[in-house]
Amino acid sequence: MFYVLEQALNSLLTFIIGIAFVRYLGVEVYGQYAIYILISLFFLNLFYNLVTLPCLMEVSERRESRYLLTSIVISMLFFTLIGLASGVFNLFIGIPDYLLVPIYCHIYCVDDCVRKLMIKKNDFKLLLLRFSLVILSILPIALSPLSNVNLYFFIFPFLVALSLIQLCYFLKYLRVKPLDLNNTLKLYRGNLGFYASAKMQWMSSNIISFFAYSLLSTANIGAIKSAQNIASLFSFVIISIEPYLISKYSNMKKGKYNLALIKLALAGSLVLLALGTTLIALKEVIVDTLYAGNNIEIKTALIVLAWIPLGSFLNTMVKVAARLQQRPKSLFVSSMLSTAISIFTFYLLFDEYVLLSLPISLLLASYVNVLIWFFLITFLKSVK
């Protein structure tokens, strides 16, 4: 229950940040921020499997603290190198809007690790403090009398807020020395397998965004992210359900958990069909109320993205079934094939449907992945 509550708070925080950006800075600046997030999520996937996961799996609080402290020191060195490389890159290319990407990536990744450790320790007070500090970081863009407020008006206070909560965590829990070099190398070597498989799975579901962001304008990216912000408000329920179902059904016989998953998939699909229909029917009122303006691009993107939660839910059901049936290869193959189809679709649609090319591709990827997985499972059963 604590995990679900924290996910709800985090989804609400993301939702509020998205609204503040569009209302006070505009969709184009929100599109710039979306690029920060995409790059950070790429590194977060690496960071989670090499750093956060060992901390979460460690029973001893002392060793957990040493893992985290060591990993943060290493990540600082890692992102310093990235910073130097991007600084040299910007010197020749000149992209001033993304100068803070390395610093943002580092603090964002450490924040995710600290946040998950707070969940593990059931430290609701620190989580609530984090939520409050991030809300306060939005105030400069909301209250500034300047007309030319830019992305940095949010980035600087946001990074300060996350750094403060990380400092509070260190003061409360971390009073130990970091691991020595040999134990640090063991930590990373022991998790390289997890990293490789998880990185490939993440890339298969997000590589389409890398391609799209390189071609779409920041205004279009901002409109798409704004529509996603509305459609994914209750995504915390879908995120929370995966570990719960795996834990609940892991000791059941195959026939029983298959039947239970099918019933849940049908019930959840009906609810999300109703949600998608409601979002489309009320898109005018919702967008105008939340984003304080008649933004036709956000409304257009929402027509497609309103069906993404249903696709995410069905994919969660597939991931749970794959984990329970010990079929990671089938899931991997279906993810790769659906990604290839979505990339092809994006390039096919881009010239004629610029704004909708990415939403349609994302929607297609989520549903095609489910269909391919079921086809593979049916085929493998018939071969046996």
Residues 153 and 230 occupy one common structural domain: no
Tell me which residue of 9, 8, 34, 43 sits closest to 154, measured CA to CA.
Answer: 34
CA–CA distance, 296 with 299 (Å, rounded to integer): 5
Cα dihedral 222→225→227→228 (10° resolution): 180
Instruction: Give the pLDDT of the chain (384 residues) as one tens digit per residue.
Output: 666 777 788 888 888 888 888 888 888 888 888 888 888 877 777 666 666 666 665 656 666 666 666 666 666 676 667 666 666 665 555 555 566 777 787 788 778 878 877 877 788 888 888 888 888 888 777 776 655 667 777 888 888 888 888 888 877 766 656 555 566 666 566 555 555 555 655 666 678 888 888 888 888 999 999 999 999 887 877 877 776 777 677 676 666 777 888 888 899 999 999 999 999 999 999 998 888 776 889 999 999 999 999 988 988 888 788 777 777 677 777 777 888 888 888 889 988 888 899 999 988 888 888 888 778 777 656 555
pLDDT of residue 299: 92
Residues 260 and 146 occupy one common structural domain: no
Q: Is residue 196 part of a domain?
A: no
pLDDT of residue 274: 94
pLDDT of residue 301: 92
pLDDT of residue 325: 74
Q: Is residue 198 part of a domain?
A: no
Residues 116 and 245 occupy one common structural domain: no
Does the model's pTM come out above 0.85? no
Q: Is residue 176 part of a domain?
A: yes
Residues 182 and 238 occupy one common structural domain: no
pLDDT of residue 384: 54
End-to-end CA distance of the chain: 41
Residues 169 and 126 occupy one common structural domain: yes
pLDDT of residue 280: 94
Residues 31 and 87 occupy one common structural domain: yes
Question: Domains in the chain: how many in total?
Answer: 2
Give me the domain span that covers residue 27: 2-190
Tell me which residue of 111, 173, 114 sits closest to 137, measured CA to CA.
Answer: 111
Number of Cβ within 10 Å of residue 97's Cβ equals 17
pLDDT of residue 196: 56
Residues 122 and 249 occupy one common structural domain: no
Q: Is residue 343 part of a domain?
A: yes
Domain end position, chosen among 143, 172, 190: 190
Residues 184 and 324 occupy one common structural domain: no
Q: Is residue 141 part of a domain?
A: yes
Asked whether 65 and 78 are in contact (CB, 8 A), the reply is: no
pLDDT of residue 49: 62
Residues 178 and 287 occupy one common structural domain: no
Q: Is residue 40 part of a domain?
A: yes
The alpha-helical segments, DSSP class H, found in 1-138 are: 2-24, 27-47, 53-57, 61-93, 101-120, 124-137
pLDDT of residue 300: 92
Tell me which residue of 313, 326, 342 sits closest to 377, measured CA to CA.
Answer: 326
Residues 30 and 133 occupy one common structural domain: yes
Residues 222 and 121 occupy one common structural domain: no
Residues 11 and 153 occupy one common structural domain: yes
Q: Is residue 206 part of a domain?
A: no
Number of Cβ within 10 Å of residue 281's Cβ equals 11
Number of Cβ within 10 Å of residue 230's Cβ equals 21
Q: Is residue 244 part of a domain?
A: yes
